[in-house]
Structure 1
Amino acid sequence: MRVQLAPLPAVVVSSRDAAREAFTRHDRRLAARYTPDAVRARGWADRSMIYLPSTDPLWRTQRSILTTHVLAPRSLAARRGVRERKVRDLVDHFRARAGNVVDVGKAMYGAMINLVSSAFFSVDVLDLDATDDSAHGIREHVEGLGDLMTKPNISDLFPFLRRLDLQGRRRMMGRHVAAIFSIVDGVIDRRLAEIDRDVAKAIVFELFITGGETVTVTVEWAMAELLKNPRTMAKVRAEIDGALGDKTTIDESDAASLPYLMAVEKEGMRLHPVAPVLVPHLAVEDGVEIGGYEVPKGSTVIFNVGATMRDPATWDRPDEFVPERFLDTEVDYRGKDFEFLPFGSGRRQCPGLPLAERVVPHLLASLLHAFEWRLPDGMSPEQLDVSEKFTTANVLAVPLKAVPIVIT
């Protein structure tokens, strides 16, 4: 589908075959990003892995640091104990509130911010038991970024008006960026003074935005669907109990060996992807053709993976939560199965995938192993609201609140 969103046309990719053609034949030509005016605030776009073109030396430096150091398999293996300890901290946080209604997503978000900062920089950013709601404050700024990035902006429609910032989008974005940068600066001041500050700031900033939010939203959606589908909840709990028995804590390798749990994770990603629309790509050359349509140089290319992952031509009962569809299949989220692209594909695929694939199943399994989860008094599974709201991510419109009951 082709639409005119700004001075240049936009092409929307919404099918498996079109996504395969775009990523396999034209990945290099589509490896740049369309940059909304708002993200230019405080120079963010000029040092952002999300928005810099893949040909930019700074992008290559940042990506290299991530893929060969921070998120390399050896580095992730070395920091496994730290990640597992942070998941245990979250379990302990819920255990201290057992029998009471808790905001599942809020607590998880704080824990994931600490997991990212501790695993890579040996620093906790937040106190999960603090009363100042600091985790919620960080998330509000992150969601504020997403809200401003997705709202229509007259500066994008008429670039000659950009310097005027008539709607104040860049100014408001600057406030959110500054707030998150102030937290990032604290991490860098304590642990990373010896490396280039701008490079470090950009990497930590985007790890906070993408790492904390991706894991939190994915697990919160899975928990919501399990609470809404008690039979599925019973089935995954039976798998965990049968495999782990009386083991008091579980580790990442335990979680990875649970096929039905992994199917629940994938089905949650399919039905409620963190990013139903990937960050728009930009055609940097002529010669791109998708589905028989020519994509002119300078066009924005939007991958609607949310539609692809609910396409009835590919998926049976696409709007239902059916983890069984991922049993006995090789389909996964690493970017080669184009009907299932929660992390995107190609050279602009989400670099946090190696972290998410370790943390998400471990966190979900730990919460299900330690607690029986119930809805607040008076709420039936049918009444649980699983409608969606898009900010920086596709989140629950009504935050999930549930009651953890300690399993003895």
Structure 2
Amino acid sequence: MERELWLLWATLAVSLLCYLTNLLRSRPGSARRPPGPWPLPVIGNILDLRGNQVHQKLACLARVHGPVMRLKLGLTTAVVVSSRDAAREAFTRHGRRLAARPVPDAAQAFGFSERSMVWLPSSDPRWKNLRGVVATHVFSPRSLEAARGVRERKVRDMVRYLRARAGREVDLGDAIYGGVLNLTSSTFFSVDVVGFGGESVQGLRELVEDIVELVAKPNVSDLFPFLRPLDLQGLRRHATRKIGQVLRIMDGIIDRRLAEASSSAGGDSLDALLELLSEGKISREHMSTILVDLFVGGSDTTAITVEWAMADLLRHPDTMDKVRAEIKGALGGKEIVEEHDTANLPYLQAVVKEAMRLHPVAPILIPHMAAEDGVEIGGYAVSKGCTVLFNSWAIMRDPETWERPHEFLPERFLDKADKVGFRGKEFEFIPFGSGPRLCPGVPMAERVVPLILAWLVHAFEWRLPDGMSAEQVDVTEKFTTVNVMAVPLKAVPLVAISYLAQNSIVSETSQHSNF
């Protein structure tokens, strides 16, 4: 009991000291700091962010305090960027200085943050090496083209799964998520993680979800860094166990591949990494970590984006009819959608962009950190070590930039299709971030998301359950680790095209997947 009381008093004393120090630093004559809501002693502005829609709370605060805003979160300081112009200045003038990451305590478990390209600082040679490996051997045009057949086959598996449930209500988000998990795992290491026979591999989905939740969960060790050695909530301890399990699964996949008589399983990403391993260009531990990074980063973003797009289309049946007509016209007499077909579907592409604009999967991206002094955004100084949050949700709904910003209007992207892309060069549209920390999986996402959406619209007519009207589709957001639908999307698929009843998709010999 005495130890707990001592710890409580020590925490309050250190926090109060830091609070008073910050007040002294803010006197006239000191560096101009961003405005923000007045912080409470010790806890700062934590109470201002209560709820599960943090990005919306930050947007409301920014409307009062401005597009460059300062928050105190315990003993840590965060600067929130909420406008296109401020984001442009930050990424173009200070991209290198802001390319570090504040590492959550749970991500340090098992030394994972020292191995993962998600958390390594961009100044670290290991980060540059890992990003180069992924860009060259996983997401290059040549590598993506080589795996195109696998992706198309896995999307057809998803269609078969839904066809078997035609006329019945399905949890569309769950079906999409299961299909995307298998698409991702099959592309990277030729294994289905959903419906696969190996029990350890089937558990990979749950393990990854647990790790992401542990890393993203509010942690007193992150708010008061001097408490990290105590791990009061046990999050790092739990993360150590989970990360160890998922890395063992990846090591098992690698070992099985090495033990195969033929080292090739069809030219997947694992084969490319094994070749680099044999040449001494990557280590074994970095190899397994790369697989974890690829699997985690390539699953959630794709599945959730497709689910949001389908929700928007179900709310706007006229728009879905336009997409279906465009697909039918572009395919001619062909009934199977192939990946390269989506490049000739500008309205479908506009729907994808509009869904990403309204519902970015990572509405505040992954936090950045100022690695050195000298950063100034909007005339305000951002000190070294400060966390910098880019509220992409607010940026992509800014009425100063977007007309009728809260409405679903894919047509807004038709006139500027060649000007607004996914690579964060137009700072009013940054669903994947921008600068050195731009998501490396963009080349795959811009192929896979339109392909899945095209299949879902082309292969099925969709009805809402229980006589629900389009206006009743609930698009309330819930931000946990990512921005998901607060109410799962339910719909009834009805077979729409003839080939499903008679030819290639049904007669394929690939195993039916149970998502």
Do they superpose with TM above 0.5? yes
Counterpart selection for 1:369 from 452, 458, 469: 458
Where 1:119 maps in the other structure, the secondary structure is helix
**How much has 1:107 moved relative to structure 2?**
2.0
Where 1:32 maps in the other structure, the secondary structure is coil
Share of identical aligned residues, percent?
64
- Find the counterpart in structure 2 of residue 69 from structure 1: 137
**How much has 1:122 moved relative to structure 2?**
2.6
The aligned amino acid for 2:213 is: D
Query: What are the equivalent positions in structure 2 for 1:206-245 lying under 5 Å apart?
Result: 206-245=293-332
Q: Which has the higher contact order (CA 8 A, sep 6+)?
A: 1
**Could you tell me how far apart the structure 2 residues matched to 1:258 and 1:250 are?**
11
- Find the counterpart in structure 2 of residue 337 from structure 1: 426
1:270 aligns with 2:357: yes
Indicate conservation of the 8 Å contact 1:146/1:391, yes or no: no
Q: TM-score, normalised by structure 1?
A: 0.94
For 1:126-168, what per-residue CA distance to the aligned partner results, in whole angstroms no more than 9, with x for missing partners? 328x8x9x87x65554443343333332111222221111112
**How much has 1:175 moved relative to structure 2?**
4.2
Where 2:385 maps in the other structure, the secondary structure is coil
- Find the counterpart in structure 1 of residue 188 from structure 2: 120
- Find the counterpart in structure 1 of residue 224 from structure 2: 158
Counterpart selection for 2:250 from 163, 176, 184: 184
**Could you tell me how far apart the structure 1 residues matched to 2:483 and 2:490 are?**
17
Indicate conservation of the 8 Å contact 1:277/1:303, yes or no: yes
Residues 175 and 225 from structure 1, CA distance in 2 versus in 1: closer, same or farther, beyond 3 angstroms?
farther
Of stretches 31-40 and 167-176 in structure 1, the one that deviates more from structure 2 is: 167-176
**Could you tell me how far apart the structure 1 residues matched to 2:192 and 2:162 are?**
18
- Find the counterpart in structure 1 of residue 238 from structure 2: 172
**Could you tell me how far apart the structure 2 residues matched to 1:373 and 1:178 are?**
42
**How much has 1:123 moved relative to structure 2?**
2.7
Residues 277 and 103 from structure 1, CA distance in 2 versus in 1: closer, same or farther, beyond 3 angstroms?
same
Of stretches 237-246 and 277-286 in structure 1, the one that deviates more from structure 2 is: 237-246
**Could you tell me how far apart the structure 2 residues matched to 1:147 and 1:117 are?**
20
Where 1:405 maps in the other structure, the secondary structure is strand
- Find the counterpart in structure 1 of residue 415 from structure 2: 328
**Could you tell me how far apart the structure 2 residues matched to 1:142 and 1:125 are?**
12
Counterpart selection for 1:19 from 56, 64, 87: 87
**How much has 1:27 moved relative to structure 2?**
0.6
Residues 176 and 312 from structure 1, CA distance in 2 versus in 1: closer, same or farther, beyond 3 angstroms?
farther
Indicate conservation of the 8 Å contact 2:150/2:187, yes or no: yes
**Could you tell me how far apart the structure 1 residues matched to 2:289 and 2:481 are?**
17
Indicate conservation of the 8 Å contact 1:262/1:361, yes or no: yes
Counterpart selection for 2:106 from 38, 42, 62: 38
- Find the counterpart in structure 1 of residue 483 from structure 2: 394
**Could you tell me how far apart the structure 2 residues matched to 1:391 and 1:180 are?**
21
**How much has 1:8 moved relative to structure 2?**
4.0
- Find the counterpart in structure 2 of residue 144 from structure 1: 210
**How much has 1:197 moved relative to structure 2?**
2.3
For 1:219-241, what per-residue CA distance to the aligned partner results, in whole angstroms no more than 9, with x for missing partners? 01000110111111111111112
**How much has 1:116 moved relative to structure 2?**
1.9
Where 1:242 maps in the other structure, the secondary structure is helix
Where 1:372 maps in the other structure, the secondary structure is strand
Of stretches 97-106 and 321-330 in structure 1, the one that deviates more from structure 2 is: 97-106
For 1:273-308, what per-residue CA distance to the aligned partner results, in whole angstroms no more than 9, with x for missing partners? 010001111111111100000111111111111110
The aligned amino acid for 1:328 is: D
- Find the counterpart in structure 2 of residue 280 from structure 1: 367
Residues 247 and 179 from structure 1, CA distance in 2 versus in 1: closer, same or farther, beyond 3 angstroms?
farther
Of stretches 179-188 and 331-340 in structure 1, the one that deviates more from structure 2 is: 179-188
Residues 367 and 11 from structure 1, CA distance in 2 versus in 1: closer, same or farther, beyond 3 angstroms?
same
Cα RMSD, aligned residues only: 2.1
Counterpart selection for 1:350 from 439, 453, 456: 439
Where 1:2 maps in the other structure, the secondary structure is strand
Where 2:484 maps in the other structure, the secondary structure is strand
The aligned amino acid for 1:255 is: T
Where 1:50 maps in the other structure, the secondary structure is coil
The aligned amino acid for 1:116 is: T
Of stretches 184-193 and 205-214 in structure 1, the one that deviates more from structure 2 is: 184-193
Counterpart selection for 1:292 from 369, 376, 379: 379
**How much has 1:260 moved relative to structure 2?**
0.6
The aligned amino acid for 1:354 is: P
Of stretches 143-152 and 212-221 in structure 1, the one that deviates more from structure 2 is: 143-152
The aligned amino acid for 1:406 is: V
Residues 398 and 140 from structure 1, CA distance in 2 versus in 1: closer, same or farther, beyond 3 angstroms?
farther
Indicate conservation of the 8 Å contact 1:155/1:162, yes or no: yes
**Could you tell me how far apart the structure 2 residues matched to 1:92 and 1:156 are?**
45
- Find the counterpart in structure 1 of residue 473 from structure 2: 384
Where 1:3 maps in the other structure, the secondary structure is strand
Where 1:377 maps in the other structure, the secondary structure is helix
Indicate conservation of the 8 Å contact 2:106/2:236, yes or no: yes
For 1:316-375, what per-residue CA distance to the aligned partner results, in whole angstroms no more than 9, with x for missing partners? 111111111111112122110000000000111100101101111011101111111111
Query: What are the equivalent positions in structure 2 for 1:4-15 lying under 5 Å apart?
Result: 4-15=72-83
Indicate conservation of the 8 Å contact 2:193/2:205, yes or no: no
Indicate conservation of the 8 Å contact 2:193/2:204, yes or no: no
**Could you tell me how far apart the structure 2 residues matched to 1:101 and 1:175 are?**
38
Query: What are the equivalent positions in structure 2 for 1:244-259 lying under 5 Å apart?
Result: 244-259=331-346
1:55 aligns with 2:123: yes
Indicate conservation of the 8 Å contact 1:184/1:201, yes or no: yes
